[in-house]
Amino acid sequence: MAATIAESMEARAEEFRSAYERVKAEIAKVIVGHDEIVHGVLTCLFIGGHALLEGVPGLGKTLLVRTLADAVDLDFNRIQFTPDLMPADIIGTNVVMELPDGRRVFEFQPGPIFSQIVLADEINRATPKTQSALLEAMQEHSVTVGGTIHRLKEPFFVMATQNPIEQEGTYPLPEAQLDRFLFKLIVGYSTREELSTILDRTTRGERPAAQKVMDGPTLLQFQALVREVIVAQHVQDYAIRLAMATHPKGEFATDATNQYVRWGSSPRGVQTLVLAAKVRALLDRRYNVSFEDVRRVYLPALRHRILLNFEAQAEGVDPDDVLLKVIDAVPEKAETKAA
């Protein structure tokens, strides 16, 4: 019986890796390079979480999300965020409809949030009031209008892009909304070789396109499989201590944390660490999470969940600098207290 369960798990894990690689290969037809960013987005997809991509304009953030939507057979909508965008433009509103008998009734007209993959393009161009319209949808997968709850179709993802907040005309995302994103991915510049490939693809009349290779029900099955991967107690405790090490003046706080951090990670941070590490384990043909799996997802899982203080801002310290010091300072094995 144990052998049968193990064989079934191995077969399902192989299906997971195969599906992951198929989607990744379709994305690679259009997107050049950015392997870690693609992996981060796919990790969010196979966990069932939202992703925030940050980078200057023109780096392919929007194209990446569009290509992902092309590779997965899910409903897709794009919302261009602007300063004059209103919450009702996103979630929808009740409108007066006239019936054939002349009576008038309110009828709900759903907004573009009623999709399965929602691209929130340049999300930090909109005002905080409009940004907050996404909160319920991202957390509860539902929208409440006029006292009525409208459920969103599963699976549901928000893939948001934003420009660095230092640029003119942007609004920093509220911390409560940032915490709803599974990963924050920093999109950097392409290399010399990658730029050459991009030019070859885009200036010679070629139009590469991704094909749909996976549907929604299959994706939901893989999301359930991820949660079945085993996490040993000592590895789980390592993830917990890494998250708690971002809490200033806390039990596991490091020197860097106490010096530069104002607020540390929420419980969602350690949940993300464990789930994302499970994806890493499956891709590495393992059914249990290792310490290294946790470390590899630490930055995208927590960089948006810590709030730096004024000293960090004055010295030009960013969240990744602090988190890297935390990783170096937190041991894999917890220190036992003397009796």
Q: The tokens 């907050």 sit on which residue?
A: 132
Q: How far apart are CA 181 and CA 245, in angstroms?
A: 20
Choose among 332, 327, 232: nearest CA to 281.
232
Laid out side by side, the sheet with 50-54 consists of 76-80, 117-121, 157-162, 50-54, 181-186
Q: How far apart are CA 242 and CA 323, in angstroms?
A: 9
Token pair belonging to 292: 């290294």
Residues whose CB is less than 8 angstroms from the CB of residue 28 and which lie 6 or more positions away in sequence, other chains included: 38
Q: Dump pLDDT digits (tens) for 238-281.
A: 999 999 999 998 888 889 999 999 999 999 999 999 999 999 99
Token pair belonging to 159: 């893939």
Query: Which of 1.10.8.80, 1.20.1250.20, 3.40.190.80, 3.40.50.980 is the CATH number of 230-331?
Result: 1.10.8.80
Q: What is the pLDDT of residue 88?
A: 86
Residue type, 62: T
Residues whose CB is less than 8 angstroms from the CB of residue 335 and which lie 6 or more positions away in sequence, other chains included: none
Choose among 97, 83, 88: nearest CA to 128.
83
Residues whose CB is less than 8 angstroms from the CB of residue 176 and which lie 6 or more positions away in sequence, other chains included: 135
H-only helix segments in 73-117:
87-91
Choose among 181, 100, 85, 171: nearest CA to 133.
85
Length of the chain: 339
Residues whose CB is less than 8 angstroms from the CB of residue 328 and which lie 6 or more positions away in sequence, other chains included: none
Token pair belonging to 326: 């935390």
Q: Dump pLDDT digits (tens) for 47-76.
A: 999 999 988 777 788 888 888 888 998 888
Q: Please state whether beta strands 142-145 and 76-80 pair in parallel, antiparallel, or not at all (unpaired).
A: unpaired
Give every residue of the chain whose pLDDT is below 70, as ranges. Answer: 1-7, 165-169, 335-339
Q: What is the pLDDT of residue 166?
A: 60
Q: How far apart are CA 164 and CA 219, in angstroms?
A: 32
- Map out the domains of the chain as residue ranges: 230-331
Residues whose CB is less than 8 angstroms from the CB of residue 265 and which lie 6 or more positions away in sequence, other chains included: 243, 246, 247, 302, 305, 306
The enclosing H or E element of 302 equals helix 298-302
pTM for the structure as a whole? 0.88
